[in-house]
Structure 1
């Protein structure tokens, strides 16, 4: 446990995911009054070391955006392990008033945007540590999740997902073998998604693309169906955006910011460049006849079999059978305005209103999709969910090669 009277030389400021350049800048620029500095690669490393060695950690500085894996999600991880409350400071790129509310509600103490003013960080961190005993008594946090699954809905989710996982186990085996035989790479992967109340969790799917799909994405952005109309009106802007290198955007952080994980394989999911450029583009991306998709990928996507591993997400409580689709971090960061934040007040689900209402019609705009998400958030009920479940089967059978 952290003791305010302990020697400063015994106190530790934990850094999380600092690349070599940022680490060197902070060490050379900041005077933390003799406290130790330890850099951790992941939150698991931090938590394991903290618990096993009883480290006297007095502050955490994480290089992450608010909705990133090591942003508000870090607070939840620390709470689950019953670790002492310490100041948590984020260094990231994206900030607006609604993101700020999310961060403060979750327990993030402060946020600095890059490029970093290290003088400000030094003053702020030292102040927080030296006065934390008084500050934390007035610190009020509330859970990020604004929606709690009713008992009946949760019981249905457990029963349905458990029964489906058992009954579909032969399908899982066949698809697993087919994916492994067709292309190199793991059959399953997970990425981080934002669900109810902007909660971040691991989202599981069957792999339907080649592992190097991200390397081809920058050459395919002009095919994004959600951006076709915008491209027709502003071709010059689209060409400029496509010319930028996807990987170079992540270089500012020192590593990929939007990875997919499977076993020891990791590849990039990032589909846009920095947020300032993407703010004028679509929040979603779909490419017709996408050449990045494998043969088995086309089959399992058209039949929505690639979604089956999400039954595990439902079983463990991250999702529900019916709800609004959880979004990748970079999409969720664009939907924190008052107009769209309502969608995150509903349960995250495998199927939902927009899937059954618009899938296969080919005329769904991004705005329509978002408004349907808001509509579901305002009007969902058990009766509505059951209707949507019965409508899902014919929606899945519609042919739409996107």
Structure 2
């Protein structure tokens, strides 16, 4: 191992180039050579050596990314916890590498909120692209709501579309109020917890707002998500990738008995009429996404979906909602297509196609 006082190209590197600190037990790791084609790499073969290295760094010399190979003793997770608690190291980008698929490791990584996890064999070009993206994204994103200032195109709701939303949502709320009262009572007495489930969603231009639904899940549903990542039907499409941008779970065990019914009939969506009336979203558009999904759709290829209106129903709902052959890429393409081509006639077509799609065949 190199003496820690020996100057290296890492220490003398140009500040404009990205730095990766890589921890793996193999001193002759082939990945090191491949990564050096894209980054300045500091390779350490023990976690103790890495901790010593970190303790000697200042804010100006810290690596851009910590790349860690998961060890059989799982000390890497303990180290991640230490890093997360250190104020100076808070916000350090962390990517884990697993030698084999392991559901426990994957759940632990999600719980610790690492930035990514890859499983061997992995495409180095894909990994390098992802690392570069994480670094650039960190520089422009203190928080999601600020991404609105980074996009090249600003979406402005057409006056006619906004007026249609106000009129239609007001009428719908009046007509649906008896049904909403009944659903509220059933949810209230069906299981413990609040009647309305409120969560943060990301809509037009990455704006974050409170999203309303009738509660269809157990109150601990969010906490259970980390242990259920292997059930997600949107499997990663690239070899070696472990994350999918969207989440869809068939026969979700978190859903209550009442929840199954109101989900399959889309009655749980009725409170979103208030979101439409408030202007958070439109009647027709791309579905607003949870924060953890939106954070994975910030590349140039897919950010287009956020440059169109967010909506209660859209192309995804009328085309392949609930179908097992619906891939993540297909859903992204539908969202991008709508953002680029929405019009009154397309909205009308989607609305007319929404009613047959309300009753799903699958429990997703």
Going from structure 1 to structure 2, the CA distance change for 1:376 and 1:99 (only over 3 Å counts) comes to farther
With over 3 angstroms needed to count, the CA separation of the structure-2 counterparts of 1:367 and 1:151, relative to structure 1, is same
Cα deviation, 1:153-205, whole Å, max 9, x if unaligned, reads: 00100001011111111111111111111111100021111110111111111
2:352 is equivalent to residue 371 of structure 1:
no
Q: Do the aligned partners of 1:145 and 1:199 also contact (CA within 8 Å) in 2? A: no
TM-score (norm. length: structure 1): 0.54
Name the CA distance, whole Å, in 2 between partners of 1:310 and 1:335: 23
Relative distance call for 1:339 and 1:157 in structure 2 (3 A) is same
* Structure 1 partner of 2:359: 397
Q: Structure 2 matches for 1:107-122, cutoff 5 A? A: none
Match of 1:164 in 2: 172
The equivalent of 1:178 in structure 2 is 186
User: Where do 5+ consecutive residues of structure 2 fail to align?
Assistant: 1-89, 93-112, 116-133
Question: SS where residue 200 of structure 2 aligns?
Answer: strand
CA distance in 2, matches of 1:93, 1:145: 31
Matched position secondary structure for 1:202:
strand
Question: How far apart are the structure 1 equivalents of 2:287 and 2:322?
Answer: 17
Match of 2:315 among 353, 368, 374: 353
SS at match of 1:190: strand
- Which of residues 129, 136, 140 is equivalent to 1:97? 136
TM-score by length of 2: 0.59
**How big is each residue's C-alpha offset from its partner over 1:207-249, in whole Å with a ceiling of 9 and x where there is no partner?**
000102234334432221112888xx77xxxxxxxxxxxxxxx
Distance (whole Å) between structure 1 residues aligned to residue 227 and residue 248 of structure 2 = 14
- Structure 1 unmatched ranges of 5 or more: 1-62, 66-91, 109-140, 235-278
Matched-pair contact (CA < 8 Å) for 1:146–1:196: no
Alpha-carbon contact 1:353-1:373 (below 8 Å) kept: yes
Q: What's 1:32 paired with?
A: none
Report the equivalent of 2:199.
191
Q: In structure 1, which of residues 150, 159, 162 is the aligned counterpart of residue 158 of structure 2?
A: 150
2:229 counterpart residue number: 221
Structure 2 CA distance for aligned equivalents of residues 370 and 311 of structure 1: 24
Residues 236 and 244 in structure 2, CA contact (< 8 A), matched pair in contact too: no
- Figure out how many residues of one structure are paired with residues of the other and give that number: 238
CA contact (8 A) 1:203 1:310 kept: yes
Aligned twin of 1:340 = 302
Measure the CA separation in 1 of the matches of 2:192 and 2:303. 39
Cα distance change on mapping 1:316 and 1:147 into 2, 3 Å: same
Q: Any idea what SS the aligned residue of 1:168 has? A: helix
Please give the per-residue CA displacement for 1:361-402, whole angstroms capped at 9, x wherever unaligned.
Answer: 321000110011001111111110000000000111242211
Q: 1:96 to 1:336 in 2, by over 3 A?
A: farther
Secondary structure at 1:392 match in 2: helix
Q: Secondary structure at the match of 1:204?
A: strand
Matches of 1:151 and 1:316, distance apart in 2: 15
CA RMSD of aligned residues (A): 3.2
